[in-house]
Structures are given as C-alpha cells and as structure tokens.
Amino acid sequence: MSILTGDDLVLGTFVPYQWLNDIKNHWRASAAPADIVPGMLFSDSDDDKLYHRVAGSGGDLEEVLQETKSADKSPLFNGVVLDVKTADVSDPPTEAELFAAFGSDITDGFTGLVQDSSSLGNLWLATYNGGWWVIEYTPAA
C-alpha cells in the first residue's frame, strides 16, 4: 500500500511530488478550506458528498453528482440528446426485441428510443424498471 491508498505517511519516507500534488488538491473535512481554487475537489465528511469549486462563482461549490449519494438532486440540463436505435421491432416491441436493440446488461432506470427499421415510422420510448414499459410516438403530419 501507499499514502495514495490510505497508508499513513512515515517520517523519512520518500514521496514523489506528484502524489503530494494529487493529495493537496483533494480534501475531506466538514467545511471546504478557504484556499480551495477552481477545479479542486472537496469531500464533505458530514454528508459524504463531493464538491468542486466553480470558476468565477465567487467561491461557490457545486456538488459532483454520485449514483449513491445524490438522490436528493434533480439536475437540470440545457438539453438532452438520446441515441435512437434502429431495430426490427414489433408494434409494440417485445422484451426480446428491446434487449436485442439496447443490450442484455440493462438495469433499472434505463431509458432509450428505438425506431422500427422496416418502416422508419413510429418511435418507441422504452424504459426498463424490472420489466419494459413503452410509449409510442408517431410522426407529425
């Protein structure tokens, strides 16, 4: 092990300067250090969340979203572009067709779009949550 993986630093131990630069850029405490600069990460020991300093924000910290710690957040994005898969699907698509289009390693919360390759007409919004749910979209006239 090393200091990078959690060992204590022992007096007289040689430590490459790159390690120390990595460590100085990442803090864990209950409050962000006063000298944190844009791009540096801060790990809050009170809520186990990660934050980073935002450039030009006057010192504001923004949360780095994490799968297991950020359930209380609803991020807003300027726009979301979803990849539309084209596959030979029925009307409505079957589970087997959706797994074939999106892959077999789908987990709860997955959402995708699939269009029937034979007609290139209807588009299906498919969501997986223990099973597939689909909504049909039709082209505007």
Q: Are 20 and 2 in contact (CB under 8 A)?
A: no
**Beta carbons within 8 Å of 91's beta carbon, 6+ residues apart:** 116, 122, 136
pLDDT digits (tens, 9 = 90+) for 38-48: 878 888 888 88
Total residues belonging to the chain? 141
Residue 92: cis peptide before it, omega within 30 degrees of 0: yes
Percent of the chain exceeding pLDDT 90 equals 13
Q: Residue 57's pLDDT is what? A: 63
pLDDT 10s digits, 59-86: 688 888 888 888 887 777 776 666 688 8
pLDDT tens digits for range 79-112: 666 668 888 898 889 999 999 999 888 888 888 8
Which residues make Cβ contacts (< 8 Å) with residue 76, sequence separation at least 6?
none
Query: Does residue 48 sit in helix, strand or coil?
Result: coil
Q: E strands within 73-139?
A: 84-87, 110-116, 123-128, 132-137
